[in-house]
Chains A and B, each alone.
Chain A
């Protein structure tokens, strides 16, 4: 039996909002129709606070907090949009765009890409930093799916979807820093992975064209990340 949840009052961008204890700022904001940009967050997966797009200001402190992992406190006053936040978020997106080879015109996710939509929503038409142009491979070994490292933003949504939902733990990150890469199993080819169940949850969770179904045209490759969320939701209800 669930105990009745304690209600808390917080302010988001000045508006008084009622939320439930234990919620993060992001959850409370979403529940009240407030938009905070995110990339690594996906409802239903454990938040990791990696992309730093959901940073918000909390009055009383100069520091910035990721909305996805910061629990709400009664009386908290949150600002989700300001010049400073917009400025920082813009740099984050710019950095992602120069880190790897995001060539939208030839990407299967063109038009359905979360990174692309964010960039265009922010009005990013040029970047101020030099492109890295890393030489990265594409893993075509899986019969149904492809992994294109060129498009990967290391959000680890695939890693968490596979571990948290499917329980298969196929994906992990190898190396560190700028050399970090997604690997399947112990750095084997995806097609040779023995733990992969071919369920495709990772593909649906992926915000960019890094993971995609084979044989799909651009118009067909629409990801259903909301399926992941509703799957989690339905499981919770059954319990």
Chain B
């Protein structure tokens, strides 16, 4: 092909390119970026090539860049002449044959279709592919692409990056031609200034101003540089852009070279991007061949060339002065500015450095004009920005969005929220120089100023999403470790300051931190930020400062309670299951003890970790399951059922009395201290157990006639037989705990009275008040608050519910009410204002209710309840909702619509949540939180009144059994510590010698589940639904444990 010197030659190349891009035969293009290759795109390409050769079908096979949806790799696109371009996802090599077969018969592989494109705007030109396939969604109707606007990524995934003709076919080098013909460089600068394009490397300096400064500089030589030294962990925008569309970069740089009067251009790219380097070098060669680089470009007498320099991978070389030093052959160390590179840069000559993405925006602005460009984005930050959305988010990939888009759009709409419905905890923008932003601030628009305000930066566009499995202290530590190892060492703040920051963070993650460390860390970080020489040091403390600001409680947890909630800091946990357990039961220990056939030891280990083992063995929400590492092999160990079996084997057998004696032996000598506990629920019982074991004199008061709290009065018999609970309470009584029933603290006995008679008081009265929202009709006969209904049932009463029951709510109380009503033969419909996946109820329970015949109506909020003449419920009106904006919990807020529907019913059970009894709270005079719950010190559980402690639901709001028990345990420990001024806790805990050998091979058995009768059988009785394991099953399950608690293994 001759050099393009005139418009005629240009058109000829363009026609040739179009014939390849939109041929008259079917075209199959494979996404062959690094991401595609990593997922097997090369194998796919060869499979297609072979299949085409074998079958002789006339198909064009091409390799293109990446379309951005990394989570759907390998991507391919397929077009039949006259029809839309169809994007296929997750295409495997063995699909090639059948796809080709489909193509030959003019059809598409239905299971691989992702979306279609009817017409594509390449900005510099547009391609009409054709219309059709009404059943396939358009590309921007797919959640991942909704709202995306592709300016920088305009050609990625469409054209063959190795073929300049395809680039010219979609209007490539037209902008350059226009600029050269026009011959007015100052006009281009005016356009850039008017477009308000800002540097995409992170600092956000106005590109037009930067270019003007450079254009005005007078010197023998001037250089322009493209900074492609992309080194942030989790960021790969530039790699993908260059791999998919290298010519857009080259065109931008030639225009820049002409406008700024540069004598040469340099692309400084990481050597770790071999594919990008390869494609770029090839593109430059092609551009030279076609007369677009070198002497007399496009016949307009302009001379310019570009050189590719591979950086050795030092992160600091992304800093412009270090980059220049590196280009000059020196060590990559920054120098102070002024002088700025535009005054004195490479070899002492004026130099202009722009980020890859900035160059990509040049041709579109020249083609479409500044007004078009600044239409997109926010007033101060115009245009789009490419982000690499990665981490703990469902859909990952390259996302190009208008600047100013709120963070939550990225995370919840495009990214579709946390993986497997997990809650997103933070998003980290800007790589190691950026900061972590908590969900409360996900409304923030993503632009230069807003992110800086939060202590983060936009940076080059990395966006790492983190969920509850990420420890924020560890995240801060990780980034500081990174910048510490990448620091050049020139200035003290960065070299030594980061070294000390890292050391402090290491101490905290090891559990050896102090609160003084946090102050020092904060001070040191501010010093590093203000005093460092270059951008690396100035921004390196951002991850620390933002985590300290937004996630301070996690630091405190590590330091004060020695706990890492996320379970990342291994020194702070026995095993992942132990760490996830609110009671911190040593799970591997009792599994091993049972394996060693030591049932009594196992029981002692269990009950000393958890005083209500049979009840929790049935109703705990078992967070341990989701953390079990066995999941990487098959399924989690069923730890709850093992612990239930161990507990039941003793508590419900004739070995009970013997074991009680064994536990009594552990009880410490009598201290003579008197402690009152208000509330005999799980929190109160737990505290009573431990305080009695510690030798104190414990009296438990409760307003109800029996002990057990919610376990006794809210949990239905079919989930927890009361005889089981009775045994556990009896054991606590045998330890010497006294119970006083039908007595309300604060009413029947004033707090002052308690204060006089006891050395400490623990308040755990729970949440027994319905958070009753008044609705028209709630006064009618047949309307019950869920708790009242469940409590009456537990007492053996049968509140009249008629035949048809409507239940409002989506929590455990709603499901318990539904299943209870089903057992009374009612027809049950549950109304919930959000979707099923948003329900707070335990998933197994919801499923069981569905199996038993409960009907669910989602997106339905109560409107009013209608009664008949006798004042009895006749029907309920609900208003349909739609889901609006995302709230802090990552769920979408329900918004009422006009659509009101009526359901006939005989009773309505309102399960809209429980709250603290405000009467008590007011009467007590204790300080409360805004939500009405008791305000206590997070670590000591002290209330505003001295010697009064609080815990359980009264502090957290309605929660669950094991969380409440954890409070009881923590309270007992703290009360004892403060009363006795000595740490006596360890003295009551048993120690066992048990096997510390790793299993040679994981046990081949699969997870056992408790036994559940068929729905139609169990729904007719109140008998316990889930029956426990047998001895063999328990042993099998114990053997499945991988023993994560063994930290140092003897590897021979």
Contacts and interface: CB of A to CB of B under 8 A. Distances in A.
Interface of A: 47-52, 55, 63-64, 66, 69-71, 87-88, 91-92, 95-96, 98-99, 128-130, 132, 154, 173, 175-180
Contacts, number: 96
B531 A154 contact: no
Given A91-B524, A92-B531, A178-B487, A50 B492 contact: yes
Contacts of A71: 338
A63 to B, nearest CB: 8
A154 B491 CA distance: 9
Contact of A176 (B314, B338, B530): B314
Contacts of A132: 499
B880 interface: no
Nearest to A181: B489
Q: Counting chain A CB atoms within 10 Å of each CB, which of B335, B493, B496, B520 scores highest?
A: B496
Contact of B492 (A47, A87, A96, A179): A96
B488 A176 contact: yes
A178 B501 CA distance: 13
A178 B493 contact: no
A214 to B, nearest CB: 28
B497 interface: yes
Nearest to B497: A95
Nearest to B485: A177
Q: 4 tightest CB-CB pairs across the interface, nearest first?
A: A180-B489, A49-B336, A95-B496, A177-B487
B491 A96 contact: no
Contacts of A63: 530
Q: Counting chain B CB atoms within 10 Å of each CB, which of A96, A130, A178 scores highest?
A: A178
A99 B314 contact: no
Q: Counting chain B CB atoms within 10 Å of each CB, which of A49, A55, A173, A175 scores highest?
A: A49
A87 B333 CA distance: 27
B486 interface: yes
Contact residues on B (Cβ < 8 Å of other chain), bracket: 20 to 34
Given A47-B336, A51-B491, A92-B531, 8 more contacts: A48-B336, A49-B491, A50-B533, A51-B492, A96-B492, A99-B495, A130-B500, A154-B495
Contacts of B492: 50-52, 92, 95-96
B503 A130 contact: yes
Given A173-B331, A176-B488, A69 B336 contact: yes
Contacts of B487: 176-178
B675 to A, nearest CB: 42
Given A49-B533, A52-B531, A66-B336, A176 B497 contact: no
Interface of B: 314, 316, 331, 333, 335-336, 338, 484-493, 495-500, 503, 520, 523-524, 527, 530-533
B527 A178 contact: no
Contacts of B496: 95-96, 98-99, 178
A71 B489 CA distance: 24
A28 to B, nearest CB: 16
Contact of B499 (A48, A176, A178): A178
A175 B489 contact: yes
B716 to A, nearest CB: 57
A91 B497 contact: yes
Contacts of B333: 176
A177 B484 contact: yes
Contacts of A177: 484-489, 495, 498-499
Given A99-B496, A178-B496, A128 B484 contact: no
A168 B329 CA distance: 19
A158 to B, nearest CB: 15
Contacts of A178: 484, 487, 489, 495-496, 499
A88 B495 contact: no
A71 to B, nearest CB: 6
B533 A52 contact: yes
Nearest to B314: A176
Nearest to B489: A180
A86 to B, nearest CB: 12
B514 to A, nearest CB: 12
B348 to A, nearest CB: 14
A47 B336 CA distance: 9
Contacts of A173: 331, 489
Nearest to B501: A129
Contact of A50 (B486, B490, B530): B490
A123 to B, nearest CB: 17
Contact of A95 (B314, B500, B533): B500
Contacts of A48: 335-336, 490
Contacts of A87: 527
Q: Counting chain B CB atoms within 10 Å of each CB, which of A48, A88, A95, A180 scores highest?
A: A95
Given A88-B530, A92-B531, A130-B500, A176 B489 contact: yes
A98 B491 contact: no
Contacts of A99: 495-496, 499
Nearest to B530: A64
Contact of A88 (B485, B488, B491, B531): B531
A45 B493 CA distance: 22
Contacts of B532: 52
Contacts of A179: 489
B492 to A, nearest CB: 5
A154 B489 contact: yes
Nearest to A64: B530
Contacts of A95: 492-493, 496-497, 500
A88 B499 CA distance: 17
B975 to A, nearest CB: 35
B509 to A, nearest CB: 16
A69 B527 CA distance: 19
Q: Counting chain B CB atoms within 10 Å of each CB, which of A47, A52, A66, A69 scores highest?
A: A52
Nearest to A177: B487
A69 B321 CA distance: 15
A176 B537 CA distance: 14
Contacts of B490: 48, 50, 154
Contacts of A98: 496, 500
5 contacts: A49-B336, A52-B493, A64-B530, A69-B338, A95-B497
B203 to A, nearest CB: 14
A49 B537 CA distance: 14
Contacts of A69: 336, 338
A49 to B, nearest CB: 4
A18 B495 CA distance: 36
Q: Counting chain A CB atoms within 10 Å of each CB, which of B487, B500, B532 scores highest?
A: B500
B688 to A, nearest CB: 44
Contacts of B491: 49-52
A222 B581 CA distance: 65
Contacts of A50: 490-492, 533
Contacts of B316: 176
Nearest to A172: B331
A87 B522 CA distance: 13
